[in-house]
Structure 1
Amino acid sequence: MLEKTGLSFTTALKRAANKVKLVKKTELLAGLGDLLDNKKKAWVKEKLINETVFYLSLHRKIHGKS
């Protein structure tokens, strides 16, 4: 159980993945646009959300015990 939230680890990871899915691609570069070249910007817009959700889900499957 995560002390401050009262959520199980699995539930917290599920909620995090759901929050990430709600982020708009156009909002991903807010504050980062000046730091990334065009190739990296394109990767962020196209892949970052799916990659993050994948790794949260993978971590939940490997380490989560509902």
Structure 2
Amino acid sequence: MKACKSGIDFGLYLVTDRVLSGGRPLEQIVRESAAGGVTVVQLREKDAGTAEFLDRAFALRQAAS
């Protein structure tokens, strides 16, 4: 898939969900997904406060790198 105007390739898009993760750590899921070709990860944490959300986002970003 061609990148959009922003340069982001939305070819394979992952939306995280701790409830549906089956108890697997999101970092592991994101790491494996990135290795499998995921190009975009959306962190879905409806019940997290700002600090918790940002902590998790930074951890997932590091896991995906």
- TM-score, with normalisation over the residues of structure 2? 0.33
Q: Which structure has the highest strand share of the two?
A: 2
- Which structure ranks higher in relative contact order (CA pairs < 8 Å, sequence separation ≥ 6)? 1
